[in-house]
Homo-oligomer: A and B are copies of this chain.
Amino acid sequence: MGFLGLREVVVWCILLFSIEISSGSTTRQFKWDVEYMFWSPDCEENVVMGINGQFPGPTIRAKAGDTISVQLTNKLHTEGVVIHWHGIRQLGTPWADGTASISQCAINPGETFVYRFKVDKAGTYFYHGHFGMQRSAGLYGSLIVDVGDGEKEPFHYDGEFNLLLSDWWHQSVHQQEVGLSSKPFRWIGEPQSLLINGRGQFNCSLAAHFSNGSTNQCKLGGNEECAPQILSVLPNTTYRLRIASITALASLNLAVGVMSDEHEHVKVTPEDILSDRPGDILSERIEDIAENLQTLILAKNLCGVTFYNDYNYVFSQNHKMVVVEADGNYVQPFEVEDVDIYSGESYSVLLTTNQDSSKNYWISVGVRGRKPQTPQALTILNYSPTSPSILLPVSPPTITPTWNDYDHSKSFSNKIFALIGSPKPPKNRDRRIILLNTQNLIDGYIKWAINNISLLLPSTPYLGSIKYSLKGAFDNKKPPEDFPNDYDVMKPPKNPNSTYGNGVYMLGLNSTVDVILQNANALSGNVSEIHPWHLHGHNFWVLGYGEGKFNKKKDEKKFNLRNPPLRNTAVIFPYGWTALRFVADNPGVWAFHCHIEPHLHMGMGVIFAAAVQHVNNIPNQALACGLTGKSFMNTKQN
């Protein structure tokens, strides 16, 4: 054998290919093939959109300041594809944002496109398809950015786990799309399963032995595609859990713990709690808080008392979690028993393994905001060393808060503030755009509309049509910045008819823009849904949440300009409003939309553009479709 063995040479070649270090900055190169494949995400075989034979796609791990280069080949047979790098601002590379019809043309079958962009900021991110409903088809994965060399996170942890949460349907995305675009409308329904890192269990449960026999116990060896990834931990150690939600629909809640086996199934009536007579099964802590009880719901959640069966309340023994990061931005640490997470959001929480180390615990993920017909997703927090024979926790999983316990959700959102020392928002806005979210009808088709316009993306990407001032590529009319004063957000629209549109909110470079997201009643009475809105290319400050219709005079005065959190996704609660502020400092064209996949598909989004004339070096391939494609080719005559 020579100087280096063959194996070493191969390893070195692979390293050289995948990481290229020059002049201090690192380029991490990936070669990905997107294709459909058979997979059993929830123990039921189906077709998923995978990357390099994996579902979810490979995790990208990089350091702040690195350049990521993904050479993406479309191996689908007839579908185009793009990938959006969710949370990455694409400073200087708006063409790499991976939004079909906005930042680029979809990559044709058989073709390869190179996404090359910098990850400037440490945090928990992810990537996903952004064409049709390909995200729902399974095209997603994690993108984790560590702090740069010599930098430190503002909190300590000894180990970490990555939990990418998603929801899963057995009906194909193609069928879902047809149903959503049909008259009569066919809703996709609730997901069959929730997945943790692409793994869930349909028609069986890891915790079936605690139920009354209505569910089968999962028989999994551990090697199945649907077997849970167990989190093995050491006692008295602090772990960072990176939790990201890429759900198509579901709002989620995650808790780590078990139902207390001591108090299980002990009957307490709501009156017991409300009357401040909690009885001897309730701890002193409950009694303390019960003095201030306003609602049963509040009691349940503030106290870690969980609704188990009608009038059966038990304690959950949850691991406390300290939230430290949201959407790649540090937040002022706060402790919770469970974490609310909406599609498009990410959190880092610190969990210290300070519970009885002779036991294991459940990680439970349940649905919020919609009446669930989907069982909780489960995996196991496994205190090492435990005998495999007692791997399953000895008590039932914590049950996440009731779906319509919006006070719990609001309480969580209202605890999130920027870490001290974080960038503060400009004190004044240059412009305010109020966006009314309504459900509407167009020719009898059910749509979502923003200020009565339902987004129908053009076939030419805006980045090209704006850059080259192409006529007829999209609506030139400015989209509305407000809605009629007399609109009653508490009731179904008086005139539900809406129109399609694809106009652009043109933003001045470096202007400070306030966006007020105004929720309203849907088409049916007494229905108003949660919508998590995601902004591309920027973070925004969340200045506040409110109930009912936004009051332009009064509510603005209540904005938190002191320590609002920076996010890229923020929720509007039913019948409420959410106020955001951002600086349009990133030249490009940027989607701002509800991150619920079928809602976006039904038109729930708007387009922002800023200083597109400053955008350079757009790869021609990104614009080789529609009118840009045509205009490029007019020079060639055959």
Residues of chain A at the chain B interface (Cβ within 8 Å): 35-38, 47, 77-81, 101, 105-106, 108-111, 131-134, 172, 174-175, 177-179, 181-182, 457-459, 467-468, 601, 616-618, 620-621, 623-626, 629-636, 638
Contact = CB atoms under 8 A, between A and B. Distances in A.
19 contacts: A77-B601, A78-B106, A79-B79, A80-B80, A80-B108, A105-B108, A108-B625, A108-B626, A109-B459, A111-B459, A111-B625, A468-B638, A616-B638, A618-B638, A621-B633, A624-B633, A632-B635, A632-B636, A635-B635
Given A36-B178, A38-B178, A105-B108, 8 more contacts: A77-B601, A78-B81, A78-B132, A110-B459, A468-B638, A624-B633, A629-B633, A632-B632
B629 A174 contact: no
Number of copies: 2
A575 B540 CA distance: 70
Contact of A36 (B81, B111, B177, B633): B177
Given A109-B459, A182-B37, A624 B616 contact: no
A625 B624 contact: yes
A518 B636 CA distance: 43
Contacts of A106: 78, 108-109
Contacts of A625: 108, 111, 624
Contacts of A459: 108-111
Given A106-B109, A174-B174, A629 B626 contact: no
Contacts of A110: 101, 457-459, 626
Contacts of A78: 79-81, 106, 131-132, 134
Nearest to A182: B38
Nearest to A186: B38
Given A109-B80, A132-B78, A617 B638 contact: yes
Q: By CB atoms of chain B within 10 A, which of A81, A458, A459 has the most?
A: A459
A176 to B, nearest CB: 10
Contacts of A181: 35
Nearest to A131: B78
A49 to B, nearest CB: 10
Contact of A172 (B108, B172, B630, B635): B172
A172 B110 CA distance: 22
A99 to B, nearest CB: 13
Nearest to A467: B638
Q: By CB atoms of chain B within 10 A, which of A47, A77, A458, A620 has the most?
A: A77
A449 B162 CA distance: 45
Nearest to A75: B181
Contacts of A629: 621, 624, 629, 633
Contacts of A35: 181
B638 A630 contact: no
Contact of A620 (B101, B132, B630): B630
Contacts of A633: 620-621, 623-624, 629, 632-633
A631 B633 CA distance: 9
Nearest to A601: B77
A469 to B, nearest CB: 12
Nearest to A637: B620
